[in-house]
Amino acid sequence: MTLQISLAGRVALVTGASRGIGRAIALQLARAGADIAVNYNRDAEAAAETVAAVQALGRKARAYAASVEQRVDAQRLAREVLADFGAVHVLVNNAGIASRGKAVIDTDPAEPERLFGVHVMGPFHLAQALLPQMRTLGRGDIVMISSVATRRHAGNGAPYNIAKAAMEALAFTLAKEERAHGIRTHVVSPTLTDTDMGRRLARARGSADIHALDASSPFGRVSVPEDVAATVAFLVSDLNAYVNGQNVAVDGGG
């Protein structure tokens, strides 16, 4: 018997889906049959490219500009997506920003507040806005895209470490609260991935080309967004019936 992921008849809202990991997740879920609501903050052109790529796969897609850390914006986003698609079965909280790489003593106090807003309050606001209808669907799925940074807590990254750790706490709480309503909640934690943010991080670590790190990476290559997207697709599919409240590291075992 061949096992195949099918998300036919389902709708996924992916935040921060204009590029990188978010775009890869949107496309992977669309390949499995889902219609996609593409959230973005600033880059309307990139979001339009994601929409076009989803539509080329034969699925419905539309882009929505919203700063999800703002409660009013998140609520508006939820209302508009529900009005256009009728339901949201899958919520992928991927929108994120990086910290500036300074020690705690040198960090602008506004920076952790800004990261907490995007990584934590955005998912919190969207959960409050979407859970009432998600509870009526029989099955719902929420995925938080975190980072292996929460396992290492490296120096010079407190705002990012704090925000991602709090995001995970929200996910694990939701996994317990919403299980009775058929809603599964997970964390997916990528390692260094070949994205715009990943390439900037590689340069900060002294590698002008991220692929210079291939040889020292698991399986002989740096992770790509499709690695993360495939993990998300499994977690939100019917192939996953009994896994809930887990943190899946997409790090090659490194």
> Domain spans of the chain?
11-193+222-250
Closest Cα to residue 50, out of 59, 42, 58, 61? Answer: 61
Number of other residues whose CB lies within 10 A of the CB of residue 77: 25
Q: Kindly indicate the confidence band of residue 202, based on its pLDDT and cuts at 50, 70 and 90.
A: confident
Is 64 one of the catalytic residues?
Answer: no
The DSSP output letter for 159 is H
Q: Does 25 score more than 80 pLDDT?
A: yes
pLDDT band at 201 (very low <50, low <70, confident <90, very high): confident
Catalytic option among 40, 64, 160, 242: 160
Answer with the residue of higher pLDDT: 66 or 212. 66
* DSSP alpha helix (H) spans, the chain: 20-31, 44-56, 71-85, 110-116, 122-134, 149-152, 158-177, 196-204, 225-235
- Written as one string, the DSSP assignment of 70-129 is SHHHHHHHHHHHHHHHS---EEEE----------GGGS-THHHHHHHIIIIIHHHHHHHH
Neighbour-count burial for 214-239, b at 16+ CB within 10 Å, e otherwise: eeebeeeebbebebbbebbbbbbbee
Out of 98-102, 124-128, 223-227, least confident range: 98-102
Report, at the CATH architecture level, how domain 11-193+222-250 is classified: 3-Layer(aba) Sandwich (3.40)
Q: Which pTM does this prediction carry?
A: 0.96
> Which candidate, 106, 67, 62, places its Cα nearest to that of 81?
62
